[in-house]
Structure 1
Amino acid sequence: MLLAILTFTSFAVLIRILANPLSNVFQKQLTQRAADPLFVISATYGFLTVACLAFWPQLRLTGLPVAFWQSMLVVGALAMFGNVFLVKALQIGDLSVLGPINAYKSVVGLIFGIFLLNEVPGWWGLTGVILIVVGSYVVLSNAQQHKPFSWTVFQRPEVKLRLAALVFSAIDGTFLKKAIVLSTPTIAFFYWCLFGFGFTLVWILLTMRSQWRAQTKLLLSHKIIYLGLFVAVGVTQIASNVALAGMPVGYALALFQTSALVSVLFGYQFFKERGIVRKLIGASIMVAGAVLITVLG
C-alpha cells in the first residue's frame, strides 16, 4: 500500500514538472497575441471552475472547518497576484530565463524561516543559496553580447515581476497544504479555482471594463491555445495538490524546481531563445541549490 502511495505521488510530481512549463508556453503565446495577463488568468480560473462543477458533482461544499475557508481565502488572493505577475513577466521576458529564477523560491522560504520561525539555516542551506546565486550568474549573463552577470539584472521589469510572483506562490503553498490536509486535493483545487476566479473578476470589473469585450474576442479567435492553457494549468494544480498531500511541502517544492530545466528547453523549442546550453547548466546549478535548501538546509 505504501509503495502504491509513493508511486502515485511520484507520478503526480512528474506530471507537474512537465505540465507547469507547458502552461507557461501557452501563457507566453497568448500574451504575444495581445492577451492581457489578468484576463488570461481569470479565464483560466473560470473555465476550471465550470469544469469542476460539470465533472465532479460529488464535491463537498459544506461541513468544512473555518480554518479551511480562512486558508483558501488567503490562497486565492496570493495565487491570483502570483499568477498575474508571472504571466506579465512571461509577456516581456524569456521563458528560459524566468523558469530557472523560480529556484529563488527556496531562498524566500529560508528568509521567512529565519525571521518568522527562528530557523537558522545550516551549512547545506547556505551552500544552496550560493549555488542559486552562481546559477543566476550563468543563466542571466549574456555571452552573445559580452555582458557578464550584474546585480542590476534584478532591476529588469520581467525579473522583478517573476520574483514578486514566486514570493506570493512561496507563501500560498503553505496555506494550500493546510487546506488540503483539512479537506482533499480535489476540494482544495475546486476552491482554488473558484476563489481565484472571484478575485480576478472583481479586479477586471475595476480595471478592465473597457477592454474585456476585445479580450473575449481574442479568446474566441485563439480558443485552441486557451484550451491548451486551461488543461495544462488544471493538470499542474491538481498534480501539485496530490503531491503536497502525499509528501512534506519542502520535498515537494524541491522536486518542483526541476521544471526549470524543462522551461529552458521549451524556451528554445517554442520561442527560439538563445544560449540554451549555458542556461541549462545554470538552471541545473540553481535546481541543485534549491534541493539543498529545501531538503537538507
Structure 2
Amino acid sequence: MEENYKLSKWLNDEMSAEELSEFQADKDFAIFEKIKKYSSELETPAFDEQKMLSKIVTSPKKEVKIIPLFKNWMVRVAAILLIGMGLLFTFRNVASSTEFADYGVQNTFSLPDNSEVVLNSGSEIQYKKWNWDNNRSLNLEGEAFFKVAKGKKFEVNTTVGKVTVLGTQFNVKQRGNYFDVSCYEGKVKVNFGNNEFILTKGMSVAVRDGKTIPIPTKNNLKPEWLEQEMVFHQESLPSIVAEFERHFNIELELNATGNGQLFTGTIPAKNSDTALQILCTTYHLKPTKVTKTKIILEND
C-alpha cells in the first residue's frame, strides 16, 4: 500500500527532493520509468458526442417483453380456488345431508323443495340435495311429521317399511321393529315386506315385528307429539320407558319384574313428573330419583 502511494506521488510530481532521491534508489525504478514514458505516448481517440447521440436515436428499437413475476403465481392461485369451490359445491350437494333431533328437543327444517319436516326427539334424517326435485327420497330413523310440497314422488325410507306420497301431510315413526304411519292430508302408500296399504286422511297403519296393529281413525290435524302428548298402541313397558327417555332427556333404570302388560293410551308430556306419575300408577311402580336426570323404577 505504501509503495503504491509513493508511485502515485512520483507520477504526479508531488515528491520532495529527499523522497525523490530515495524513490530513484529503488530497484524497480527503471521499470517505473519505462511505464511512464510509454503511457505518455498513448493517445485517446476523440469523443464525438453528437455522433454518439445520433446513433442512439436512429438505431432500431427492440420490443421489450415484460413478464410479470406474479402472473403465473396468480393464475395458479385462481385455479386452486376454482377447483376448491367446485369440490366444496359438489360435496355440499352430492354428499348426504343429515338433520338430527337430540333427546329432549325437536328439530324443524325445510327440504330443498320447501317441504316442511319436524323431527321428534332422538330422530335422524338423511337426504341428498343434488337433483332433489327429481329424486325426493330420504332415510328416516325415529319419528317425523311431513308437510310435503307438491311435485314428483316423495319417499320416506325406514329399516321396516317405505312411505310414498305426492303432496300431503303425514307422520312416520320407526323405533326398532315398530313402524307407524298416519295420514293427515292427501294420500299415502305404505309398503313393508310384501304388504301394501293406501292411507287417506285420518287413516293409520302400525306394524310390530311384521304384524299389523289396529289403530283407530284420527280426527286431529297433526300428530299428538306436536301437542306435547305421547300416544301408545299396545306398547310394552320397556318401549314406553325408552320413549320417556327420548322425550324428556332423562335416564330411567327399570328394575321391575312381571310387567308384561301392553299399554294403549295417551300420556301428557309437558311435564316429566306428571308423566312419570301416570306411568308408575299404571304399572304399580315406585320412582326413586338418584340424580337430577336419573330415576330408578322399581315394583311398588
Hey, which of these two has a bigger chunk of strand by percent?
2
What is the TM-score of this pair, normalised by structure 1? 0.19
Q: Which has the larger radius of gyration?
A: 2
Structure with higher RCO (Cα < 8 A, 6+ apart): 1
TM-score norm. by structure 2 comes to 0.19
Structure with greater proportional helix content: 1
